[in-house]
Amino acid sequence: MPATPSAVAARFTGSPAAGERRLSRSLTEVTLADGRVVMVKYADDPGAARAEAAGLRWLAAADAVRVPTVHGADDNWLVTGRVADGRATAEGAERFGRELAALHAAGAPAFGAPPPDGPTEAYIGLAPMRNVPGENWPDWFAEQRVLPYVRRAVDAGTLRADEAATIERVCALLPGLAGPAEPPARLHGDLWNGNVLWDGDGTAWLIDPAAHGGHRESDLAMLDLFGAPHLDRILAGYQRAAPLADGWRERVPLHQLFPLLVHTVLFGRGYAEQTLAAARSQLT
């Protein structure tokens, strides 16, 4: 018999389930007999759940931003604690900015380094993402993040060859566009607004990471790309804790190339236009 969310929750928590509420095809809220409420997530791609669990544990180990407890994971199932519903406040957003700076400062062994026990073949949302270490950020970002998705988009007919050439030109110029060299940061890796939850105290919690070693500006650029409540206060808190290098605002579209290309591959031409606009902004 196929596993059910309630059965999976009981297996990983040691408490039988008292009820469940399906939130989506892949996500179920399960209430346990001991009163705890957990989130049970199913992933079609074998290994995706283990990769997410490894990322959550790595972020939690930094003791910086709050992360739900991982109760257990296997190839397809992940069980975590539930974050109480709340909303963002200006004060909480500024605190989150400081906490995010501390998370990044916890560092990583290399650009592209996976979390401990995390796989090389990981995921960002529904898309594959390889965690292969590199020695410097510009080369690694081009070779392991941008160019693989450019090729996928061209193969799918979502990007034309001449449009791909524009993005490839940005990659060739990356050493001069990237700003001052920085050490590898411990990134959430998929830090759009939907992956930041706010509890009843206005405290931020991170979920659904695509964690790896990267450039700290990439997480901030992702927050900017899809919007975040009180983003100005998040950035203010971050800047007070760990000031960004001069020119970081102009580099935001550069760091957005990767998530925009992921969305181009997953969702089509509309994101290709945004990707091209971001690339062209770096060539003016």
Which pLDDT tens digit goes with each residue over 66-118?
A: 999 999 999 899 999 999 999 999 999 999 999 999 999 999 999 999 999 99
Q: Are residues 114 and 173 part of one domain?
A: yes
Domain count, the chain: 2
Q: Are residues 98 and 70 part of one domain?
A: no
Q: Are residues 225 and 94 part of one domain?
A: yes
| Boundary of a domain, candidates 81, 103, 127 | 81
Asked if residue 247 has pLDDT above 80, the reply is yes
What CATH number is given to the structural domain containing 183?
Answer: 3.90.1200.10
| Boundary of a domain, candidates 81, 111, 128 | 81
When the pLDDT of each residue in the chain is averaged and rounded to a whole number, the result is 96
Q: Which residue has the tokens 């931020």?
A: 204
Give me the residues paired with residue 38 across strands.
30, 81
- pLDDT of the residue at 1: 38
Q: DSSP states of 140-208 as a string?
A: HIIIIIIHHHHHHHHHTTSS-HHHHHHHHHHHHHHHHHS-S--PPEEE-S---GGGEEE-TTS-EEE-S
Q: Are residues 206 and 100 part of one domain?
A: yes
Greatest pairwise CA separation for the chain in angstroms: 60
Q: Are residues 26 and 152 part of one domain?
A: no
Which pLDDT tens digit goes with each residue over 207-236?
A: 999 999 999 999 999 999 989 999 999 999
Which pLDDT tens digit goes with each residue over 150-203?
A: 999 999 999 999 999 999 999 999 999 999 999 999 999 999 999 999 999 999
Among 245, 248, 238, smallest CA distance to 96 is for: 238
- pLDDT of the residue at 191: 98
Q: Are residues 171 and 197 part of one domain?
A: yes
Among 245, 188, 219, 233, smallest CA distance to 95 is for: 233
Q: Are residues 212 and 144 part of one domain?
A: yes
Q: Are residues 215 and 234 part of one domain?
A: yes
Q: Are residues 52 and 191 part of one domain?
A: no
Q: Are residues 77 and 98 part of one domain?
A: no
Catalytic one of 190, 208, 219, 224? 190
What CATH number is given to the structural domain containing 31?
Answer: 3.30.200.20
Which pLDDT tens digit goes with each residue over 46-71?
A: 889 999 999 999 999 999 999 999 99
Long-range contacts of residues 69-72, Cβ cutoff 8 Å, at least 24 apart: 71/9, 71/12, 71/13, 71/38, 72/11, 72/12, 72/13
Q: Does 190 participate in catalysis according to the annotation?
A: yes
Q: How many helices (H) and strands (E) does the chain have?
A: 10, 11
- pLDDT of the residue at 2: 60
Quote the domain boundaries for residue 234.
90-281
Counting Cα atoms < 13 Å in the Cβ hemisphere of 10 gives 11
Q: Are residues 185 and 106 part of one domain?
A: yes
Q: Are residues 248 and 179 part of one domain?
A: yes
Asked if residue 136 lies in contact with residue 111, where contact means CB atoms within 8 angstroms, the answer is yes
Asked if residue 269 has pLDDT above 80, the reply is yes
Higher-pLDDT residue of 126 and 89 is 89
In the predicted model, what is the mean pLDDT of residues 121-140?
93
| Boundary of a domain, candidates 27, 54, 81 | 81
